[in-house]
Structure 1
Amino acid sequence: MRQYASLDTLLTDVRACRACSQHLPLGPRPIVRAGPGARILIVGQAPGARVHASGIPWDDPSGDRLRKWLGIDATTFHNESQFAIIPMGFCYPGRGNGGDRPPRRECARLWLDSLLEKLPEIQLTLLIGQYSQHHFLGVDRKPSLTETVRAWQEYAPTFIPLPHPSPRNQAWFQRNAWFENEVLPMLRERVHQLITHGLRRAE
C-alpha cells in the first residue's frame, strides 16, 4: 500500500483511477468525498447513472431517503468536515439483470485501506447494503441483510448496518416496520450527537 502525505493527494489519485475503465459502460468517474476531520463514514454500493452524471454522491431519490433517515439536510450531508462518503465501488458499474451491476472489486482492493488510514476521526460507519456489510463485518454478519440490520446493537456504536434506501426496496420497508420504529430514532440521535460535537470542536 502506497503511503500518502495527505488525504488531498490520495483523493487526487483516486479520482484519476482508470484501473477498470474497460468494464465501465459510461467510463470512469470515481465519486468519493472525504475530509480529514470527518466523523461519520457512509459506505454504500456504487454510484447510479444519475450520480455518475452529476458527480454528486447520493444525488438521487435514494439519497433523499437516506438524508431523511439521518435527519439532516443536503448541505450538512455534503459537508466533508462531517461526512466521508466512500462507496464499495467508486464508479457507475452499468446495468445488470434487475438493477445496477455489483460494485467493482478493484476499488476496495486498491484504495479503501489507504482512505480509511487518512480518516482518523471516524466515529461511526454506516454500512448500506450487503456489499459493505460483507466487507466490514466479515464473519460477524448474519445470514441475511435483514438479520444483520436487526442485530445492529451487536455492531454499534462503531458500525450501523442499514438496508439500501432505494425506492426499489419499498416492499422491504413495509415488511419490516421495526426498522423505522427502532433503528431510525437511534440512528438520528447518534448522527446528531456526532455532528453537534464536531461543530463545537470547530468553534
Structure 2
Amino acid sequence: MTAWCKSYFDNVRIDFGCCCEVYLKNNETGVWQRGPVVYLEAMTDMRDELRACRLCETRFAATATGHAPNPVVWFNPGARLLIAGQAPGLRVHEAGKPFWDASGNRLRDWLGLDEAQFYDRNKVAIIPMAFCFPGYDAKGSDLPPPPICARTWRARALEAVPDIRLTVLIGGHAMRYHLPGFRTVRQAVADWRNHPPGVFALPHPSWRNTGWLKKNPWFEVEVLPRLRSAVAEVLND
C-alpha cells in the first residue's frame, strides 16, 4: 500500500507494509530514490491498556466487597477541563460511569454543568487518583486509593490530555498529589486565590461533607461563583 504525502511533503512517498519504506524525490531530476527503512511498532491506545489493568486484583479480592478490577476510564485527548478526584465508589464501579451518584449531582451543580456537558469526554477529562473502586473496609467505609495506581498510570493519563486549561482537584488525595505544600483540605480550598493559574481545590461532594459545607459557608459564596465562571470560560471558548 502506498501513501502520498500532501502539502509541502509532495516530494515524499511512504510505502506501508511490515516496515515503512520512505522514498524521496529529487526535485531536479524528478527521480524517486529509496530512503531509510523504518520498522513500525504496533501503537496501542493507553486507555485500552488502562481498561485492561488488573494490578490490584488480589488486593480487591481481599476486601469486604471481594470485587474484581473495573477501571473507569473517561477522557479523550482534546479535553480542556480536568477533574482530578479520588477513586470510583461502588455505584460508579457497577455503572462504569464516573460520578454517577449523588456526589456527581452535587459536583455538577458546583461546576454549573448539566449531565451532557459533564460527560462530554472531548471537553471534560475525569482522571482520579485510582481508576477502580478500592472496596470497603470492615466498617463499611471506602478504602483509600491504592498508591500503585497513581504510580503506574497517572503520569501517562495526564500526558494523554495535553490541552487541559482548568484543573479541579477533589479531595485530599488529589490535592496532595497536585499542590506543593498541601496541609489540609480546608486550607487548600480556602487558598484558591493563591493556587497556580487554572487550579481549583474542592472538598469531596459526598453527602458526608454536608457538615463541612455548613461550617464553611464562604465556600458557596466565594469559591463556587468563580469556579463556575472559570468552567464556562474554558468550555465555551
Q: Calculate the TM-score normalised by the size of structure 1.
A: 0.90
Q: 1:40-189 to 2 correspondence within 5 Å?
A: 40-96=81-137, 97=139, 99-139=141-181, 141=182, 143-189=183-229
Number of the residue aligned with 2:51: 15
* Secondary structure, counterpart of 2:200 in structure 1: strand
Render the CA deviation track for 1:23-55: whole Å, top value 9, x for unaligned.
112110001211111001001111000000000
In the TM superposition, what is the alpha-carbon distance from 1:103 to its structure 2 partner? 0.6
Render the CA deviation track for 1:43-74: whole Å, top value 9, x for unaligned.
11110000000001000000000000011101
In 2, the alpha carbon distance for the partners of 1:12 and 1:155 equals: 33
Number of the residue aligned with 1:39: 80
Q: Calculate the TM-score normalised by the size of structure 2.
A: 0.77
In the TM superposition, what is the alpha-carbon distance from 1:15 to its structure 2 partner? 0.4
Render the CA deviation track for 1:128-154: whole Å, top value 9, x for unaligned.
000000011132x2x211011000111
In the TM superposition, what is the alpha-carbon distance from 1:119 to its structure 2 partner? 1.0
* Secondary structure, counterpart of 1:56 in structure 2: coil
In 2, the alpha carbon distance for the partners of 1:159 and 1:99 equals: 29
Aligned pair count? 191
In 1, the alpha carbon distance for the partners of 2:53 and 2:168 equals: 25
In the TM superposition, what is the alpha-carbon distance from 1:124 to its structure 2 partner? 1.0
Higher helix share: 1
Number of the residue aligned with 2:70: 29
Letter in 2 for 1:32: V
* Percent identity of paired positions between Structure 1 and Structure 2: 45
In 2, the alpha carbon distance for the partners of 1:57 and 1:137 equals: 23
RMSD of aligned alpha carbons? 1.6
Structure 1 gaps, min length 5 = 198-203
In 1, the alpha carbon distance for the partners of 2:110 and 2:197 equals: 17
Letter in 1 for 2:189: V
In 2, the alpha carbon distance for the partners of 1:114 and 1:5 equals: 18
Higher relative contact order (CA 8 A, sep 6+): 1
